[in-house]
Structure 1
Amino acid sequence: MSYYDVDAILTDSQKLPCTFELDVPGLGFLEGNVGGTVKAGTKLDLPMWLGIMLAVSTGNTPGSSQLVTLDFPTPLQQRVINALKADPRTVDLRAQAPHFYALGARIMELFDDRAVLDTLLSTFKLRAAEIADQALNPRGALGEGAEFLRGLDETERQLFKAAHEGPKAVRAWTLDLKKNT
């Protein structure tokens, strides 16, 4: 993604649970204590970009541990993963995170969890088939499929738009081709 990609910026601003491993002077403002010290063991939800920067930072003495450890964000915790394993079509991904798959991709760069990755891939495949069906069946999108469509994340919305507009563009192209021959 580009540096100026709004979707990437919004994904990196998603809150990530972080646990401080060391006392950090001067960062008290993160927990409402301006000028104070964040104590070791403090748990805070920080924007992903900040959490990652603190996670790769270490104390100022040789051999000291990292400043924070990262945990899975709420949209990718076990409760949601279990729901996705049960039936991915029933989960409102947009309510979990507007950029759910982008968040998943970023988190998979940080954590090596094959089970979560497999669940995300399976979820995308199953939901993509449903999205294509809804895009080509306008009655479904207006009726019983409306609830499903409201829960699409941004990637899925782009997929729906492409699947919906693609056949129209092909028809217009073939009509134009027939006119010009």
Structure 2
Amino acid sequence: MSKITERLKHLIGHVTSEAKKFKELEAATEITSGTWRSWWNRSGSPSGEMIEAVSTAWPEYAFWLATGNDDPMHGHHAPGLNKHIRTRSAARDLFLAQQELGNWIAINKFGYNEFAETVKLDQNLDDENNRKVREFNKLRIKVEALESIRNEQEASLRKFEEEEFMKEFFGYTE
């Protein structure tokens, strides 16, 4: 699939049911079902908004969607095409948590620099800033925990896949 239109249609076919695909896309992307239906039937190029929305809803396919290449060892894969490599489910959870943190920072205009400064002044913060510090910290800790889980899953799967490869191609067994 060399064109982004073909890849997007393949992805949509993988993540939605045939009968309700446009309603499911609307629910997942907040782009109206009519817009999706119109694009699908016209077969023109998808809009940047469509690509961004699908990439946000299904981040494990975003790299493949944008480039046509996959990187399954790092949680980026083509939908349904890499059966021999195990899905990195922890990578998807991490991607979603990173998006959640990024969205929270954008909405609250609150980043690492602001966090570092407010932590120093903890006793002097008003209730709203204390709430923001707690929310930011909670999301940051969630991302760090999911990153740790993803790293553990990667190590385990890599070891398992290497052992399978050695058995399959070289008849090696421990």
TM-score for both structures, normalised by structure 1: 0.29
TM-score for both structures, normalised by structure 2: 0.30
Structure with the largest fraction of strand = 1
Structure with the largest fraction of helix = 2
